[in-house]
Amino acid sequence: MTDRAPGVAVGDEVEVVVGAVAHGGHCVARYEGQVVFVRHALPGELVRARVTELGGGSRFVRADAVEVLTASPDRTTPPCPWSGPGRCGGCDLQHVARPRQRELKADVVREQLARLAGLEVAVVVEPVTGDADGLGWRTRVEYAVDASGRAGLRRHRSHEVVRIDHCRIASEGVAGLDVTRREWPGSEAVDAVAPATGAPVAVPVGPRGSVPEDVPDVVERVEASWAGADGGGRLARDFGVAARGFWQVHPGAAATFVGAVMAGLDVRPGERALDLYSGVGLFSAALGEAVGPAGQVVAVEADRDATEHAERNLADLPWVLPVRARVDDAFGVPRRTSRGRRPHRGRRPVRSPMMPTRADVVVLDPPRTGAGPDVVREVAALGPRAVAYVACDPAALARDTRTLTEAGYRLASLRAFDAFPMTHHVECVAHLVPS
């Protein structure tokens, strides 16, 4: 990467008219024909933007709006003093009024589905209960620790640690741990967790992810209900989770997503369900209670710790089978590299005998990179009557939706949720059925 693109260099300031919002927490502008991805701006504004980075072989530049010359009516004063150009990189949208935040996220989801899946879909981003002002909701925060042993949050696209007083989107339980006011010698990070049940926990993370041996598990309570053609259902259950394990960071997210997934599946007693990327068993529990003893749920998860927790969390549902395996390995498809390419060498993949050859319903909750075309085609080959796809990245959702539509499915419904207020992130729950 060089420090100069045609016409501009890092540190230059240029005046641009800001265009549409784009995936990733910025808006698109142009300067002398060159694409400029501008953070801390809003569509329609005239801003002075400082170039922070050159990317894509100088085909585009990244920049921060350091001065607003003509403001959008949707602009507001950020509630956090650490939000803004050159500061904490955690919140992208604190300068945007809350209703407009959700509209921008809807625009991104709509654009990704149109561009990558060829689908024109009406999108409304729904709020999640528990964050009236968008602050104080995050129940899991990973702080970075600098060389002096003090904790803070990282600058955008940087390893540099910004020392803050406290995070404005952190929950009361996380804030009460006073992570940024304590010293953490020898640590590289600190995970702060405020579970639904029990006391908050601060876990120091050493080199190579090492943690103390006495880190306790935490308990998350989920109470969800849903309506459907089958009359609907309800889930009320505690889930044991490793303090550093995966769990939704918004206190209302887990129940919201369970309700959305189950409402669109209409799971029936005696059916066979497949829960992919199943974690500690959140969706598996709802599926297991719905199919009952005459049915079956196969839950596939790669993480050993999460699978062990799932076995304990679902012990009262013996017809739910947690399987520890990568999903692509379980299907017997070749692993792909981080860039989505198949490796040239490696052992011939073998399908797990635990994987069913057919399923009535399938739930996917993959990581940000998505499930990928090989896994998605295997899902379609099972012939499910309904597929629920939970996605934290709209681009990955759009790519995998396209693969499913090519395999004979259609998008029946899509709901989007503002589970990460003040940031550009958005969670989607899509339901697909045979065409």
Contacts of 209 (CB under 8 A, 6+ apart): none
CATH superfamily of 218-434: Vaccinia Virus protein VP39 (3.40.50.150)
Q: Looking at residue 130, what is its pLDDT? A: 72
Q: Report the chain (435 residues): mean pLDDT per 10 consecutive residues.
A: 67 97 96 95 98 86 97 97 94 96 98 98 93 91 97 95 96 97 96 97 94 93 90 94 96 97 96 98 98 98 98 98 97 79 67 96 97 98 98 98 98 98 98 97
345: left (phi over 0), alpha (psi -120 to 50) or beta: beta
Q: Looking at residue 372, what is its pLDDT? A: 97
Q: Looking at residue 228, what is its pLDDT? A: 80
Task: Please tell me if the domain spanning 4-79 has the same topology as the one spanning 218-434.
Answer: no
Contacts of 33 (CB under 8 A, 6+ apart): none
Distances (CA, A) of 107 to 137, 265, 398, 413: 24, 26, 14, 17
Q: Looking at residue 347, what is its pLDDT? A: 64
> Of the residues 80, 88, 392, 428, which is catalytic?
392
Q: How far apart are CA 96 and CA 416, in angstroms?
A: 19
What are the extents of the domains in the chain? 4-79, 140-212, 218-434
Q: How far apart are CA 301 and CA 272, in angstroms?
A: 17
Q: Looking at residue 6, what is its pLDDT? A: 62
- 392 annotated active-site: yes
Q: Looking at residue 346, what is its pLDDT? A: 61
Q: How far apart are CA 407 and CA 93, in angstroms?
A: 37
CATH code for the part of the protein at 4-79: 2.40.50.140
Nearest to 39 by CA among 28, 30, 31: 28
Q: Report CA torsion sign: 366, 372, 375, 379.
A: positive
